[in-house]
Each structure stands twice: as C-alpha cells, then as structure tokens.
C-alpha cells in the first residue's frame, strides 16, 4: 500500500487560504489504512479546520466526501457533484490520487493534504514500514523475498557491509540489518547458494531515475 501522513494543520490552513468553499475529499483505500485520509480523517480534519478558522473569526464552507480510490476514474466520478459545488478540493489521497483528480477536474484546484511517503506495509498496529521502492526490476527471488534496495541503508546487492551489530543496521539502530534478515531467510529456505551469485550494478533505468514510467497492457486497452 501507499503510506502517507496528513500535513500539519498550519500548512493545510495556509494552502486553503484563498478559498471560501472547500471540499475535503478522502480516499478509502491505502491512506485510510494508514490513518491519513479515510472517512474518519476527513471528518476529524473538517472539525479541526472549522475550529481553527472559527477561533480566528474566519468562516469557510467545508464539505466532506470520500471515494473508494482517487487513483481510479471509476471512483473519481462519484466526487463530481461535490467538486462542482466548491472552489478547491483538499485531497487526502496520495500523490497519485491528487493527480488522478487533477486529470479529471481541469478547472478546479486540487490541493494535497497528505505527505506521501512510501510503499509499505502495516507491520504492527500503527507502525508502517517501507518495503519497496518500485525499482522496476524486482530481484526479490534472489534475496529470499527481502528487498535490499529498500531495506538495506546502503542498498547493497552482494552481501552485508559488515557493520551490523546484533542484527541491527549500523546506519540506524532502529532498523534491522536487511542482509542479516536475507541470510537468515535464505538459510531457512535452503537457498544460501544464492549468495554465490554476483549481482552486477543495478540498472536504474526502469526505476524513477529513467524518468516518469508508464505500464502499457495492450491486452487491456479498449
Ligand atoms: S527489488 Fe525493486 S521492485 Fe522488488 S521489492 Fe525491491 S524495490 Fe521493489
Ligand atoms: S548494516 Fe546491514 S542493512 Fe545496514 S547498511 Fe550494512 S548491510 Fe545494509
């Protein structure tokens, strides 16, 4: 899932300053799971904004609505009647959701209310960890399913740096050494021979370093 967190209220108030009629639009999938932009967060943010504005003697009309996903046109359409009524949309989706809305509603400002941070998982209740950097050429098969591109602080592909202590990364004491985890996992899977393979320097062209990417599925194009 895409993980993000809501922007600070002061920043949100500042980007909303020029507008009187607003729609706070939530997204009911990834950002809902990470407590940044689902229906509950939309309602909470609307209340906080009304209170903050009221304290300053200002008033704005704030509507609330949440769609299942702001990154899919099918769901974006449901927001159309609400978007029509407002001067600006504060989107609580990830950056893809905001831009999905921008493509659909050319004449209405769509503003980000969330800082999109990474692709990850919920490891424990309230703890989200980054697991994939979308490098475009997944090598997880060689690493026992643990990604050194994302989880090794030095992005090492051919084994550990030697700096870890007690399974902890030398760069950050709060991070497990990815290579320790990879070796333990390969041991469990009886695949330690994978470590004998030399992994050449990674070609970053399929990653974002090669510019914005597109995925074309000819079999799904109508
Ligand atoms: S190797 Fe690339 S695609 Fe696979 S998990 Fe790591 S960053 Fe993501
Ligand atoms: S200690 Fe482990 S995770 Fe940290 S940089 Fe070295 S190999 Fe990578």
For the chain, what is the mean pLDDT? Answer: 96
147 occurs within a structural domain: yes
Q: Are 61 and 143 within one domain?
A: no
pLDDT of 222 reads: 83
| Domain boundary, last residue among 89, 118, 147 | 118
- Could you give the number of structural domains in the chain? 2
Closest to 116 measured CA to CA, from 103, 130, 101, 136: 130
The model's pLDDT over 175-205, given as tens digits with 9 standing for 90+, comes to 999 999 999 999 999 999 999 999 999 999 9
DSSP percent split of the chain into helix, strand, coil, nearest 5: 35, 20, 45
The parent domain of residue 180 ranges over 133-207
Is pLDDT at 70 greater than 90 in this prediction? Answer: yes
- Write down which residue in 118, 144, 175 finishes a domain: 118
Q: Residue 125 C-alpha to ligand 1 middle, in angstroms?
A: 24
pLDDT tens per residue, range 98-123: 999 999 999 999 999 999 999 999 99
Q: Tell me what the mean pLDDT of segment 3-24 comes to.
A: 97
Of 12-26, 166-180, 200-214, the one with minimum mean pLDDT is: 200-214
CATH, residue 74: 3.40.50.2300
Distance 184 CA to ligand 2 centre (A): 14
Distance 159 CA to ligand 2 centre (A): 9
Q: Are residues 102 and 147 in the same domain?
A: no
Nearest CA to ligand 1 atom 8: 132
């Amino acid at each position: 899932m895409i993980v993000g967190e809501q922007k600070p209220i002061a920043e949100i108030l500042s980007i909303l300053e020029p507008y009187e009629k607003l729609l706070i639009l939530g997204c009911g999938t990834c950002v809902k799971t990470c407590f940044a932009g689902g229906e509950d967060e939309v309602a909470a943010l609307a209340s906080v904004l009304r209170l903050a504005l009221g304290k300053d003697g200002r008033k704005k009309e704030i509507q609330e609505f949440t769609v299942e996903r702001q990154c899919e046109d099918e769901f974006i359409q449901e927001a159309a009647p609400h978007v029509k009524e407002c001067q600006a949309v504060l989107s609580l989706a990830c950056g893809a959701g905001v831009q999905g809305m921008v493509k659909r509603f050319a004449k209405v400002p769509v503003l980000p209310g969330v800082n999109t941070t990474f692709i990850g998982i919920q490891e424990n209740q309230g703890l989200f960890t980054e697991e994939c950097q979308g490098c475009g050429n997944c090598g997880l098969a060689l690493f026992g399913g643990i990604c050194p591109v994302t989880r090794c602080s030095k992005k090492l592909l051919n084994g550990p740096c030697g700096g870890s202590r007690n399974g902890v990364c030398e760069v950050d004491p709060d991070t497990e050494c990815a290579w320790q985890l990879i070796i333990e996992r390969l041991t469990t899977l009886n695949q330690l021979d994978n470590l004998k393979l030399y992994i050449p320097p990674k070609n970053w062209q399929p990653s974002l370093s090669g510019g914005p990417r597109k995925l074309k599925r000819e079999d799904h194009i109508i």
